Structure 1
Amino acid sequence: MDKSWMTKPRGTNESRDGCRLFVDFTVRNYTLPDGKIYCPCKVCRLNRRYPLGVVLSHLTGGKGILLTYKDWMFHGEKPLRGHVEPSPSNRPATDAVGGSSDQSGNMHAMLRDVFGMHDIREDNCESQVVVQGDEEIVVEEADEVDVRKYHKLLKEAKTLLYDRTKHSKLSATIHMYNLKCVGGISKKIFSSLLEFINQLLPADDGAFPVNTYEAKKYLRDMRLGYEKIPASRNDCMLFWKGNKELDSCTVCEKSKWKDEIHLDEDGQPISSSKKHPVKVLRWFPLIPRLQRLFMSQYTLPHMKWHADNHTKEGILRHPADNEA
């Protein structure tokens, strides 16, 4: 079916005729139990259902159709094999803090996005063969560590904490840590909460993190890390690259280490081999974060929108239409 009308300027005859074509296609191929369908306009974004007339007015009245909605899978069209339409209605139902009605499927999709394992086999956790088209390619040694981490977390995502629950260790830990971040819970209170939860769960050593440190360590492979760079006491310089091994600032000549006094059991000062920098700069690299956005099936269409779906009609409607 010709869908070139989707990129035509709104208000033209091609756009209006295409909107009517879309409605006629829906009537022929989609069952309307209550006379309503999901509205694919740029405002509703397949999140709301309206009668056919209202949907047609949304599409022709200035809002326009969602350009990323190329496969009309919510209106009777069968999507291409292996294609997942990146629309809000296609995601598992979530609550305000990231819970899901389908924890297992949601965790699997998230792990594939985090590790970039969309083509790797999941039927064998020991497999290190990637399927690309009709060929099977052995994973390189540099990727084997990520493959093992992926399969380890995938296995734990399939194992429930206990009977009669929808949560695995992975989904429960992520859900709890998300609550900590959203609610601003301190490390001490969060550790006490985890300790109490472990008392409620059936006795099983290692089934659930017992404190904040273990929870962060468990989720470390899924998080985008950062680099700690010691800084001068007076913010004169960073102890980085060529200056990494220096013990004092080259400007103010102040030591980069804290003046800490450690006492033994008798209260006598003792020397400690572990030193702590006075100030630390936490650097969050940009490239891995951009890569994560391109790896996710939900954010990828938005990252590629300007290249693939942006209407190039020679008319300035948006700052993105400007060459600058």
Structure 2
Amino acid sequence: MNRDYWMYKASRFSELYIEGVRTFIRVAEANRTSKGNESISWPCNLCKNFKTFNCTGEIKYHLLENDFVPNYTCWSRHGETLLDCGTTSSNININNSTYNNDSYVDEDDHHSNDNFNGMFDDIETNMGDVEQEKLQRLFEEVDSGSKFMKLDVVLRFINLKSKNGWSDKSFTSLLEVLHDILPEDNKLPISTYQAKKLMCQMGMEVERIHACPNNCMLYIKEFKNKHNCIFCGASRYKRKKDSDEVDDDVTKNGPPAKMLWYLPIIPRLKRLFSNEKEAMLLCWHSEERVIDRKLRHVADSPQWRNIDKKYPEFGKEMRNIQFGLSSDGINPFGNISSRHSMWPVLLCIYNLPPWLL
């Protein structure tokens, strides 16, 4: 039985929906028993999985009255994983018109609350038990009984800030005014720093790698404990005198002379594939692309076909990812005079539909 249909398209009073609710209650009870929990998260559109209760008799009533929380076809808060709920392209019944340029933007504008819940479910599915407990405690701490959750409100404000190009200073001023207008016991952040610190717990880590000030090497792998560049001998640290003593622990010798900020690729790809809609978009080049010998997409190019021929096993896998690398100012041979110290290097996913590239 397709969950996307009976949970969100069938009538709440139909036998199909009621039987589906009974199935959910059995799954939730089995998960509570196996983990030894006393309460169950309620996935109705009112409680949104943020509140837990001991009485399971009320769950059916809540789901009949309020529907399920949007985008909760994988019951991750009740013991399931993506493999358990069978999330594949064969059982996803979504109109292809959803993925045109306009509707994709409109969804981002008008359904931020749905995106918030979907993002939370995606995060939790890829977390270990320790990380899930931390995130659950975060939701328990911020739940003040209000109609809106603190994380939901902050997410909406952050989206507005990004969309309209607000500066950090203006955003802080807005939060301060709102904090003064709201009741005294409100928990709204009063600065951009506090808002970002709250949101970063739902994001992915960024690796900071020390680099040689002359761009000779990175201090990673077998070189992570080196104090000087093995090529030019420059110090790894910002120091007034190179002759100063250094501690064996590289974290105790002051700030690095130069640093590389690296956003790991694999966790981000896992996050994309954990979401049904995003996974469909990443497989568009294999499942939805029109193959008629016309150059409509990057996948129609001779270079793409050459890669598939050279690596046939890679080409047969529809979930393969092909990147385009671009940078503003790469100087591989060091023969360009420049005083810039920051060169952004970007990866573009070529598998996406043309309107998203």
In structure 2, distance between residues paired with 1:186 and 1:147: 33
In structure 1, distance between residues paired with 2:201 and 2:95: 25
* 1:292 counterpart residue number: 271
* 1:43-122 to 2 correspondences below 5 Å: 83=92, 85=94, 89=98, 98-101=108-111, 103=113, 105-116=114-125
* 1:10 counterpart residue number: none
Is 2:108–2:115's contact at 8 Å kept on the other side of the alignment?
A: no
In structure 1, distance between residues paired with 2:154 and 2:240: 35
In structure 2, distance between residues paired with 1:276 and 1:97: 43
Q: Which has the larger radius of gyration?
A: 1
In structure 1, distance between residues paired with 2:224 and 2:124: 31
In structure 2, distance between residues paired with 1:171 and 1:88: 28
Amino acid of the structure 2 residue aligned with 1:290: L
* 1:3-14 to 2 correspondences below 5 Å: none
Is 1:180–1:190's contact at 8 Å kept on the other side of the alignment?
A: yes
Is 2:229–2:235's contact at 8 Å kept on the other side of the alignment?
A: yes
Q: Are 2:129 and 1:144 equivalent residues in the alignment?
A: yes
Is 1:236–1:251's contact at 8 Å kept on the other side of the alignment?
A: yes
| Change beyond 3 A, Cα 1:83–1:203 | farther
* 1:244 counterpart residue number: 224
Amino acid of the structure 1 residue aligned with 2:294: R
TM-score, L = length of structure 1 = 0.50
Give structure 1 stretches of 5+ with no counterpart: 1-81, 118-141, 262-272
Amino acid of the structure 1 residue aligned with 2:158: Y
In structure 2, distance between residues paired with 1:86 and 1:288: 28
* 1:121 counterpart residue number: none
* 1:215 counterpart residue number: 195
- The percent identity for this pair of structures is 29
| 1:230 match: secondary structure | strand
Q: Are 2:297 and 1:317 equivalent residues in the alignment?
A: no
User: RMSD of aligned C-alpha atoms?
Assistant: 3.9
**1:91-114 C-alpha deviation (Å, 9 max, x unpaired):** 9x89779443572x4422221123
Pick the structure with more helix per residue: 2
| Change beyond 3 A, Cα 1:84–1:115 | farther
**1:187-231 C-alpha deviation (Å, 9 max, x unpaired):** 4443343333322222226x2223233222211232232210111
| 1:253 match: secondary structure | coil
- Paired positions, count: 201
| Change beyond 3 A, Cα 1:102–1:307 | closer
Amino acid of the structure 2 residue aligned with 1:233: P
Distance apart, 1:239 and its partner CA: 1.5
Q: Which structure carries more relative contact order (alpha carbon 8 Å, separation 6+)? A: 1
| 2:189 match: secondary structure | coil
Amino acid of the structure 2 residue aligned with 1:174: L
Is 1:236–1:249's contact at 8 Å kept on the other side of the alignment?
A: yes
| Change beyond 3 A, Cα 1:97–1:244 | farther
**1:137-177 C-alpha deviation (Å, 9 max, x unpaired):** xxxxx8212332453466679x57846xxx42112211222
* 1:105-254 to 2 correspondences below 5 Å: 105-116=114-125, 143-152=128-137, 159=143, 162=146, 167-204=148-185, 207-254=187-234
In structure 2, distance between residues paired with 1:161 and 1:196: 22
| Change beyond 3 A, Cα 1:304–1:153 | farther
| 1:281 match: secondary structure | strand
Is 2:125–2:274's contact at 8 Å kept on the other side of the alignment?
A: yes
Is 1:97–1:179's contact at 8 Å kept on the other side of the alignment?
A: no
Q: Which aligned segments of 4 or more residues in structure 1 are displaced greater than 6 angstroms?
A: 93-97
Amino acid of the structure 1 residue aligned with 2:150: K
* 1:26-41 to 2 correspondences below 5 Å: none
In structure 2, distance between residues paired with 1:208 and 1:95: 27
In structure 1, distance between residues paired with 2:192 and 2:208: 20
* 2:284 counterpart residue number: 305
